[in-house]
Amino acid sequence: MSQDDWDKYHAVLKNRRFPPDTHLILDNEWLGGELYHNAYAARSKILDYALVAEDQIEKCLSTIKEKVTFLALFTNGFHWHLNELEDFVFFYFKGIHFPGDPFAQMEDYDVKEKKIQIRRTIDHFAYFRRPKTEMQPNKVIWNVKLPCIPD
């Protein structure tokens, strides 16, 4: 079941919670509230999963010197998209947000308020897209790249 967060999206716009150089344009008549909820929730969960993975890496692999770690994330292609993961990957590896990342200010606030320490021990983020009607993923990226900053 999808959650309609149109009021939250409207409040974020009104309170200028998106960076000034970003635009997340949604329409209430075209699932805007649901799309906002999906994007916001997915971005929050990606951070949560990264922190859990870092804890597991520390517990299980702290004594291993030569290791390569992956965090594999799965989507059906509707609830969140590759570009959302790319924005997070940029933040994860660079420590700053990609210009135009609509969730930059909210994520910075959350990290600061919760005193989250990101250890950056994940080497690669993998992306798997499998629509609900498919048996196998139809897109797999084992090493999600950072988006390029335009000149």
- The most confident of the ranges 6-20, 97-111, 136-150 is 136-150
- Split at pLDDT 50, 70, 90, the class of 113 is confident
Alpha-carbon span 115 to 128, nearest angstrom: 30
Give per-residue pLDDT as tens, 21-69. 766 675 667 766 666 666 767 888 999 999 999 999 998 887 888 889 9
**What global pTM score does this model have?**
0.79
CA distances in angstroms from 112 to 37, 45, 96, listed in the order given: 22, 17, 13
Beta sheet of 70-75, edge-to-edge order: 70-75, 124-129, 139-141
Q: What residue segments make up the domains of the chain, in order of their start?
A: 6-141
Angle between helices 32-61 and 6-14 (to 10 degrees): 90
Sign of the C-alpha dihedral computed for residues 26, 37, 124 and 132 taken in this order: negative
Q: β-pairing, 124-129 with 70-75?
A: parallel
